[in-house]
Amino acid sequence: MQLNSSGLQALVAGAGKGIGRDTVKALHALGAGVIAVSRTNTDLVSLSKECPGIETVCVDLGDWEATEQALGNVGPVDLLVNNVAMLLKQPFLEATKEVFDRTFNVNLRSMIQVSQIVAQGMIHQGVPGSIVSVSSMVAHVSFPNLAVYSCTKGTMTILTKVMAAELGPYKIRVNSVNPKVVPTAMSQKVLTDPELARKLKERHPLQKFAEMEDVVNSILFLLSDRSAPTSGSGILVDAGYLAS
């Protein structure tokens, strides 16, 4: 997919592994400048080797003060991908304060903080921008043992709309992508039982899970001017699951 303007600067939050890492690689291949933000430095070092010229920032995005220090003076950014998330399995009746606080800080509060920093920069520079957050199908349907994680993703839906409404007058678009299951380290935590994985796959009308490339393509589409009239919305990357 083409981004229709070279020389754009992108920031990817949660860039060390999985979908975030592949998004950095795709944006780099398309000629965008990339600031890759993640928590494990070895991931960022190996990513820099694969994508020469990218900038890396190593910070725990669940820590407000550390994030402010690390990203408060980040330069101009045209494209933002809020991809960071953590997932700890707990059924609703066993959900704890500690898991609630940490998961909301990492998955949701970081979206607010990083988006504020980037959007304020866009407004200051007077440039248009596009923000894409990686949400999930669990914003729409329940999945066993993911009570707190699902709440963060459900809240991202209304946050995406609020941001789209408030930032639209500054020509900043805000959208989400909502994948179901994508083979990464995170999904391995959920699909430990091969039989459950098989049955779940069968429930998808297309009889497959999405691949990382499918999610990255949807992110690139929403970042690009090809989706110019779209804001406050989202793309389901779910192999038809919600239709079933």
The answer to whether residue 142 forms part of the interface with ligand NDP (CB under 6 A) is: no
CB of residue 7 to ligand NDP, shortest distance in Å: 26
Binding mask 187-206 for ligand NDP (x = CB under 6 A): x-------------------
Task: Give the SS3 label for residue 218.
Answer: helix
Give the Cα separation of 41 and 33 in Å (integer).
19
The token pair that represents 41 in the structure block: 């430095």
Q: Which of 36, 80, 84, 146 touches ligand NDP (CB under 6 A)?
A: 84
Q: Which of 23, 38, 56, 176 touches ligand NDP (CB under 6 A)?
A: 38
The answer to whether residue 235 forms part of the interface with ligand NDP (CB under 6 A) is: no
Q: Which residues partner with 35 through β-bridges?
A: 11, 55
Q: In terms of CB distance, is 127 or 197 closer to ligand NDP?
A: 197
Query: Which alpha helices (H) appear in the chain, and where do they start and end?
Result: 18-29, 41-50, 64-71, 97-104, 110-125, 147-167, 185-190, 194-202, 212-223
Give the Cα separation of 168 and 99 in Å (integer).
34
Work out the number of other CB atoms within 10 angstroms of the CB of residue 43.
18
Number of H helices, E strands in the chain: 9, 7
CB of residue 133 to ligand NDP, shortest distance in Å: 8
Residues 6+ apart with CB under 8 A from 218: 177, 235, 237
CB of residue 15 to ligand NDP, shortest distance in Å: 6
Give the Cα separation of 150 and 135 in Å (integer).
9
**Which residue among 111, 149, 163, 182 is the active-site one?**
149
Give the Cα separation of 113 and 105 in Å (integer).
10
Q: Which of 9, 36, 62, 204 touches ligand NDP (CB under 6 A)?
A: 62
The answer to whether residue 185 forms part of the interface with ligand NDP (CB under 6 A) is: yes
Task: Give the SS3 label for residue 163.
Answer: helix
The answer to whether residue 60 forms part of the interface with ligand NDP (CB under 6 A) is: yes
Q: In terms of CB distance, is 62 or 232 closer to ligand NDP?
A: 62
Which residue number is nearest to ligand NDP in terms of Cβ? Answer: 18
The token pair that represents 198 in the structure block: 């098989």
Q: In terms of CB distance, is 88 or 186 closer to ligand NDP?
A: 186
Q: Total binding residues for ligand NDP by CB under 6 A?
A: 27
The answer to whether residue 132 forms part of the interface with ligand NDP (CB under 6 A) is: no
The answer to whether residue 16 forms part of the interface with ligand NDP (CB under 6 A) is: yes
The answer to whether residue 236 forms part of the interface with ligand NDP (CB under 6 A) is: no
Q: Which residues are catalytic?
A: 149
Positions that interact with ligand NDP (CB under 6 A): 14, 16-20, 38-40, 43, 60-62, 83-86, 106, 134, 136, 179, 181-182, 184-187
